[in-house]
Structure 1
Amino acid sequence: MERYPVRMTDVLITIRPATIDDVPLIRQLIAELADYEKLAHAAVATDDDLRAQLFGAHPAAEVLIGEVDGEPAGFALFFHNFSTFLGKRGLYLEDLYVRPAFRGAGLGRHLMAALARIAVQRDCGRFEWSVLDWNQPAIDFYRRLGATGMDEWTVQRLEGAALHALAARDEL
Structure 2
Amino acid sequence: MPTRILLEGRPGAGKTTAVRRLAAMLHDREITGFTTEEIRDGGTRVGFALETLTGRREVLAHTGFPGPPRIGRYGVDLGVMERLALPPLRVATAHSAAPGPGLLVIIDELGRMELACAAFRDTVSALFQADVDVVATVHVHRDPFTDALKGRTDVELVHLTPANRDSLPHDLIRRLQTA
- Smaller-chain TM-score range? 0.3 to 0.5
TM-score, normalised with respect to structure 1 = 0.32
TM-score, normalised with respect to structure 2 = 0.31
Q: Which has the higher helix share?
A: 1
- Structure number with bigger Rg: 1
